[in-house]
Structure 1
Amino acid sequence: MTGSDEARRFYAKLMAAHARSADPRIEEVFASVPREAFLGPGPWTVFAGDGRVETPSADPSYIYQNVLVVLDADKGINNGEPLLHAIWIARVEPKPGEAVTHIGAGTGYYTALLARLVVPGGRVIAFELEAGLAARARQSLAAYANVEVIHGDAVATPLPPSDIVYVNAGVAAPPAAWLKALKPGGRMIFPWRPSERVGLAMLVTRMEAGFACRALMGSWFIPCVGASVAGPQARIPTRERAARTRSIWLMQDKAPDRTATAVFGDVWFSSRDIQAKSKR
């Protein structure tokens, strides 16, 4: 075993421990997927404090830590924090045979983890808007037979029916089409960024009675083109109101009422709990 292999195994153990998941496969996939294969040749630039630091060499051991690695400095695009993704992946609970849509796949590292977790029988459709990143993702994911990378706009393109929609770009609100793409019992996790003062990771579950929604943690991602700007009629929440959100509703199904915590176009957020059991 090389030093980088040992570093990756220890990193995987830490990620799984922080994720607090009962699924041993979380550690297995972090241990088996080489992060460096999705970052380009080293040395790499990572974020530290308010600045950036270059790794001393191209030894992969340096990127088996909870660090953001720069992919495109000019556009602010990074390979995100592994700890955040470990928590997110644990909460959406990918299972063998499930269909995943990954929005904002970058170069495909977290796509690869999701792909490993849905075999056998599962599939991942990965959207990436940046042409260069999409090309790199296709190359890096060529060995993953259950992954399709689409260079395209996930806001303008209909999503396939999905058990999981995994969003890695900040939205003022998830488009109604994303919610509709969820199968019964389907889960979506997305970075909610309705204003500069609000940045929350939100977990949505499609229940029989509607879309249950919970804030998980603070979160910041680069904006999602086409879904990151609130319209003039939007009702933008404070962070406190956003954190009280317990469900999301489609305007076509129900008009906003006194429980509304935020309103954006054809979707609105509510403090009302959804009690009905999921069809998972």
Structure 2
Amino acid sequence: MTNTPTLGERRNQLVDQIASGRALPAAVEKAMRTVARDQFLPGLDPSRAYNDEAVSIKENPEGPLPLSLASVPSIVAMMLGQLDAQPGDRILEVGAGTGYNAALLAEIVGPDGAVTTVDIDSDVALHARHALNGAGYERVTVIERDGLKGAPENAPYDRMIATVGLWDIPHAWWKQLAEGGRLVLPFRWRGQTRSVALTRRGDTLVSDGMELCGFVPIIGQDGERTAELFDGKARLYYDQDQAVDSNLLNDVFSTPLHEVWSQVRVGSEEPFDGMWLRATVTDDTVCRLEVTSEALEGGVRRPAIPIRTPAIVVGGSLAYMILLREDATPEQPWRVGAAGYGPDGPALASALEAHIDAWGADRKAVPAMTIHPATGGPVDGPQEGHVIPKSESSVVLAH
């Protein structure tokens, strides 16, 4: 007879699974073995709390994405590792979620530290408060508030972490993060999201790590745009500074297809988002393409990943990443290429293929990022890199 694991055993099994895939700092591992995630997910089968998966805690009646999620535990662990919180630290979390992440932070900083978590949604904030109280973390401060404003009453903070996607760095956060403090956030640019770890050096945030992730976007930022193509069967997601005109792209998929193939190959489980990241360092035409099953049935060339594939757009033409299976190379059966549509489709496909080749030559390269508060003009001083302007900040990327 097989014994059913206890919830504590399931919790340890989950942490063992996470630790087998990445090095966990001792403090993060201890916190994840201590805090009972099931206590923050009432109404869910408790055993499911120890699957490495996200759980929706509040649906969004006006859109496809939920208003709030309990994040995937392995992503939680990754971001806490990036944050590198220490005993005694003062921490601000933006996006209270279930309260689980705040409990982990409370364990890490200990009784001499302080954790404040804010959420714009009253139901979510109330859930987090009740769950934290029930789990014995009354010392965590929960505030119902627009996270873009932070929590100045408890500032300055040694560490700040966001568990919602941010397109920009709010001015208010600069005033609340201490000199030398660390900020970890799911940062969005050119259609992608990366968990970026940044350290404050005066009026500059300097990155020292980027990890692939996906989060519900924060309410109140609108720097991202969407263009409907092919009668709404395909969509482009791009930034407000990019010159995308959906009127020029209405009939792009009715033009001839042009394919260009690189010599780069990937395995079935090998990520290729690094190409997307690398391309944003030099190319302002990079964005994200989503293609529905109806578009595929209508003859559109299948992208590498239909719901989120890197693309480049110029005028009435576009190109995006595609894959071709070649079983002659079983360890890396997928050949990477580019599909181009529109009058400049062949040229754009070749340009994208050049990005693929550059990534293929050094797949682990991560660009350096610095972020500066926006002053209404260009970033002050000489910049070694490519500037992406946002509403409240300027981002500089360099190889």
- TM-score w.r.t. length of structure 1: 0.81
Q: Percent identity?
A: 23
- In the TM superposition, what whole-angstrom CA distance separates every residue of 1:106-164 from its partner, at most 9, and x where no partner exists? 12011110111001311111001111111111111122143100011121355421111
- Quick one: structure 1 residues 169 and 67, their matched pair in 2 at CA, closer, same or farther if it must change by over 3 Å? same
Pairing partner for 2:30 from 28, 31, 37? 28
Q: Distance in 2 between matches of 1:210 and 1:144?
A: 34
Gaps of 5+ in 1: 43-57, 274-280
User: 1:182 is matched with which residue?
Assistant: 177
User: 1:149 is matched with which residue?
Assistant: 142
User: 2:378 is matched with which residue?
Assistant: 255
Supply the AA of the counterpart residue of 2:108. L
Q: Distance in 2 between matches of 1:198 and 1:2?
A: 39
Supply the AA of the counterpart residue of 1:39. L
Supply the AA of the counterpart residue of 1:265. S
Superposed CA RMSD in Å reads 2.8
User: 1:130 is matched with which residue?
Assistant: 121
User: 1:72 is matched with which residue?
Assistant: 58
Q: Distance in 2 between matches of 1:117 and 1:97?
A: 9
Q: How far off is 1:215 after superposition?
A: 5.0
| Cα contact 1:245–1:269 (8 A) shared by 2 | no
User: 2:231 is matched with which residue?
Assistant: none
Supply the AA of the counterpart residue of 1:30. M
Q: Distance in 2 between matches of 1:158 and 1:124?
A: 11
Q: Secondary structure at the match of 1:90?
A: helix
Q: How far off is 1:265 after superposition?
A: 2.0
Q: How far off is 1:17 after superposition?
A: 4.2
Q: How far off is 1:225 after superposition?
A: 1.2
- Quick one: structure 1 residues 234 and 180, their matched pair in 2 at CA, closer, same or farther if it must change by over 3 Å? farther
Equivalences for residues 79-158 of structure 1 within 5 A: 79-142=70-133, 143-158=136-151
User: 2:397 is matched with which residue?
Assistant: 271
Pairing partner for 1:205 from 185, 190, 199? 199
Q: Distance in 2 between matches of 1:260 and 1:97?
A: 37
| Cα contact 1:234–1:265 (8 A) shared by 2 | no
Supply the AA of the counterpart residue of 2:198. V
| Cα contact 1:122–1:146 (8 A) shared by 2 | no
Q: Distance in 2 between matches of 1:32 and 1:2?
A: 17
- Quick one: structure 1 residues 86 and 200, their matched pair in 2 at CA, closer, same or farther if it must change by over 3 Å? same
Q: How far off is 1:84 after superposition?
A: 0.7
| Cα contact 1:126–1:150 (8 A) shared by 2 | yes
User: 1:40 is matched with which residue?
Assistant: 42
Task: Determine whether 1:11 maps to 2:22.
Answer: no
Q: Secondary structure at the match of 2:86?
A: coil
| Cα contact 2:94–2:150 (8 A) shared by 1 | no
Q: How far off is 1:214 after superposition?
A: 4.4
Pairing partner for 2:163 from 139, 152, 168? 168
Gaps of 5+ in 2: 226-238, 244-275, 282-365
Q: How far off is 1:30 after superposition?
A: 0.8
Q: How far off is 1:186 after superposition?
A: 0.8
Q: How far off is 1:31 after superposition?
A: 1.2
Q: How far off is 1:18 after superposition?
A: 3.4
Q: Secondary structure at the match of 2:147?
A: coil
Q: How far off is 1:179 after superposition?
A: 2.8
| Cα contact 1:245–1:272 (8 A) shared by 2 | yes
| Cα contact 1:127–1:152 (8 A) shared by 2 | yes
Supply the AA of the counterpart residue of 1:241. T
Q: How far off is 1:272 after superposition?
A: 5.5
Aligned residues: 255
Q: Distance in 2 between matches of 1:39 and 1:236?
A: 41
| Cα contact 2:89–2:158 (8 A) shared by 1 | yes
Q: Secondary structure at the match of 1:184?
A: strand
Q: Secondary structure at the match of 2:12?
A: helix
- In the TM superposition, what whole-angstrom CA distance separates every residue of 1:39-72 from its partner, at most 9, and x where no partner exists? 1122xxxxxxxxxxxxxxx3x2332121111212
| Cα contact 2:116–2:143 (8 A) shared by 1 | yes
User: 2:280 is matched with which residue?
Assistant: 241
Q: How far off is 1:251 after superposition?
A: 2.8
Supply the AA of the counterpart residue of 2:139. N
